């Protein structure tokens, strides 16, 4: 078992001498992804304007999941929000300067959240009320945007006097996105439902937000274990991939799965994980299942070890040289991400709606299982150590920690 000690040494080296890849300033697999927030002024009013605000997710595979987005900004003057549809301000603030009619929100820096899908129909607008969820571009482009409508008062009501909000913030609800300043752009055009009339906004401004792991300040959230049909040896998730194990109590940050008290909580950005040597909320097992003459088969098992989260619309990005010859996928949706590499070795996999698109919280149901069938390309297929294993795996856009190469199981 000399490879074990060698791998331990290598692991210690990796842990102590390199920073986690999640601290990279931008995501190498999606250098140009962004979220664009567009404000369309659709009406001037005697006291200000009515605007439709839409958040567009142009990222290929990073989505916003429960508990959803929070959009904030700082008014340039003393603007207030008289009414809001398809969203809600989290705090009213100090409206004591108003008598009679009181605005919805008087805060200098308001925060807006989405409404739930169960909102009554007469309080909805198009593209609203998704509980703060926004899909990624690849997974569900029809749901990659979210809108709400505001009526703003104590504000300029011409395109010369209106003041554009500053310091836009987008939280999910944790940090990660940085938004630039609003820029006035060409007014949006809208096609009527019968497609026979085009109207346009009175004024439009755009804000671009980009994601950076650097801002999330967090350890990896996912690790990979590798195994093969003909070799009992498993390369386990490297120890302490996502944190160091402490005492087995809830207050110390992990839960013993055998403990009678298994916590139940609503989706919460602070993970509460099962106690393991790696302490990752997500474990992915890549198992070489069969090696036929012309094909080979891999099973991927994703295990949720986080009691605080049902991962809705989960996705995986996998890089492996054989993806250009992927023949069949069982148990998930699939799309080759051809724009990410010249060799077509990267693919996105995600759950099938109403079947396994929600990776349930840790416990009996917290697993998803899928299979890939590859055609062997004689020119490239090799049973040499390591080739049959993935080069990189991302879960929901976060890079997963792989075992060190010298710990890989042999594929005879």
Ligand X SMILES: *[C@@H]1O[C@H](CO)[C@@H](O)[C@H](O)[C@H]1NC(C)=O
325 binds ligand X, rule: CB under 6 A: yes
324 binds ligand X, rule: CB under 6 A: yes
| Closest separation in Å from C-beta 242 to ligand X | 17
Report the alpha-carbon distance of residue 49 to residue 252 in Å, rounded.
51
259 binds ligand X, rule: CB under 6 A: no
User: Do the beta carbons of residue 251 and residue 340 sit within 8 Å?
Assistant: no
Q: What is the 3-state secondary structure (H, E, C) of 187-239?
A: CCEEECCCCCCEEECCEEEEEEEEECHHHHCCCCCEEEEEEECCEEEEECCCC
For ligand X, which residue of 45, 90, 123, 159 counts as binding (CB under 6 A)?
159
Subset of 217-256 contacting ligand X (CB under 6 A):
246-247
308 binds ligand X, rule: CB under 6 A: yes
The tokens of 325 are what? 């010859």
97 binds ligand X, rule: CB under 6 A: yes
Whether cis (ω within 30° of 0) applies to the bond prior to 383 is: no
Report the alpha-carbon distance of residue 180 to residue 75 in Å, rounded.
15
203 binds ligand X, rule: CB under 6 A: yes
For ligand X, which residue of 2, 18, 19, 96 counts as binding (CB under 6 A)?
96
Q: What is the DSSP letter of 275?
A: P
267 binds ligand X, rule: CB under 6 A: yes
Of 123 and 343, nearer to ligand X (C-beta) is 343
**Main-chain phi, psi angles of 245, to 5 degrees:** -75, 135
74 binds ligand X, rule: CB under 6 A: yes
Half-sphere exposure of 379 (CA within 13 A, CB side): 3
User: Do the beta carbons of residue 179 and residue 209 sit within 8 Å?
Assistant: yes
| Closest separation in Å from C-beta 356 to ligand X | 14
Q: What is the DSSP letter of 410?
A: P
CA dihedral in degrees (265, 266, 269, 275; nearest 10)?
30
Report the alpha-carbon distance of residue 142 to residue 133 in Å, rounded.
12
335 binds ligand X, rule: CB under 6 A: no
Q: How many residues bind ligand X (CB under 6 A)?
A: 36
Subset of 348-377 contacting ligand X (CB under 6 A):
360-361, 375, 377
CA dihedral in degrees (238, 243, 248, 249; nearest 10)?
-150
94 binds ligand X, rule: CB under 6 A: yes
Name the residue among 290, 293, 291, 274 with its Cα closest to residue 282. Answer: 274
| Closest separation in Å from C-beta 341 to ligand X | 9
164 binds ligand X, rule: CB under 6 A: no
| Closest separation in Å from C-beta 20 to ligand X | 22
146 binds ligand X, rule: CB under 6 A: no
For ligand X, which residue of 175, 344, 369, 371 counts as binding (CB under 6 A)?
344
Of 38 and 320, nearer to ligand X (C-beta) is 38
34 binds ligand X, rule: CB under 6 A: yes
Of 123 and 159, nearer to ligand X (C-beta) is 159
Report the alpha-carbon distance of residue 264 to residue 363 in Å, rounded.
11
Of 219 and 269, nearer to ligand X (C-beta) is 269
338 binds ligand X, rule: CB under 6 A: yes
CA 121 → CA 45, 51, 129, distances in Å?
A: 25, 20, 10
| Closest separation in Å from C-beta 380 to ligand X | 8
Terminal CA-CA length for the chain:
18
Q: Which stretch binds ligand X (CB under 6 A): 122-130, 281-289, 305-313, 385-393?
A: 305-313
Q: Which stretch binds ligand X (CB under 6 A): 78-86, 113-121, 203-211, 279-287?
A: 203-211
| Residues binding ligand X (CB under 6 A) | 32, 34, 36, 38, 56, 58, 74, 94, 96-97, 159, 166-167, 184-185, 203, 206, 208, 246-247, 264-267, 308-310, 324-325, 338, 343-344, 360-361, 375, 377
């Amino acid at each position: 078992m000399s490879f074990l000690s060698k791998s331990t040494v290598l692991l210690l080296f990796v842990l102590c001498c390199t920073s986690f890849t999640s601290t990279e300033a931008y995501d190498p697999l999606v250098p140009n992804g962004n979220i664009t927030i567009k404000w369309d002024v659709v009406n001037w009013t005697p006291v200000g304007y009515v605007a439709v605000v839409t958040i567009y997710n142009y990222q290929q595979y990073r989505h916003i999941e429960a508990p959803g987005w929070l959009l904030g900004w700082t008014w340039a003057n003393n603007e207030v929000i008289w009414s809001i549809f398809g969203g809600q301000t989290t705090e009213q603030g100090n409206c004591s300067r108003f008598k009679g009619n009181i605005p919805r929100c008087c805060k200098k820096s308001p925060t807006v959240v989405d409404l739930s899908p169960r909102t009554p129909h007469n309080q909805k607008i198009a593209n609203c009320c998704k509980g703060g969820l926004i899909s990624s571009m690849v997974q569900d482009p029809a749901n990659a945007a979210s809108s709400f409508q505001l009526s703003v008062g104590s504000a300029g009501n011409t395109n010369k006097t209106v003041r554009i909000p500053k310091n836009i913030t987008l939280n999910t609800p944790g940090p990660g996105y940085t938004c630039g300043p609003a820029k006035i752009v060409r007014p949006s055009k809208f096609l009527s439902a019968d497609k026979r009339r085009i109207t346009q906004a009175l004024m439009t401004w755009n804000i671009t937000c980009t994601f950076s792991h650097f801002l999330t300040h967090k350890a990896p959230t996912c690790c990979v274990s590798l195994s093969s049909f003909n070799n009992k040896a498993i390369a386990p998730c490297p120890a302490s991939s996502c944190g160091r194990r402490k005492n087995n109590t809830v207050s110390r940050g992990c839960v013993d799965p055998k403990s009678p008290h298994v916590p139940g909580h609503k989706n919460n950005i602070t993970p509460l994980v099962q106690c393991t040597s790696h302490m990752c909320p997500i474990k992915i097992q890549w198992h070489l299942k069969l090696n036929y003459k012309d094909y080979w088969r891999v099973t991927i098992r994703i295990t949720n070890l986080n009691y605080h989260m049902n991962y809705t619309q989960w996705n995986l990005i996998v890089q492996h040289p054989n993806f250009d010859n992927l023949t069949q996928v069982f148990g998930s949706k699939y799309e080759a991400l051809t724009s990410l590499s010249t060799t077509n070795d990267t693919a996105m996999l995600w759950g099938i709606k109403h079947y396994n698109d929600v990776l349930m919280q840790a416990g009996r149901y917290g697993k998803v299982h899928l299979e890939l069938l590859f055609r062997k390309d004689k020119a490239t297929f090799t049973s040499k150590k390591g080739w049959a294993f993935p080069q990189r795996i991302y879960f929901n856009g976060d890079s997963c920690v792989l075992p060190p190469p010298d710990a890989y199981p042999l594929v005879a």
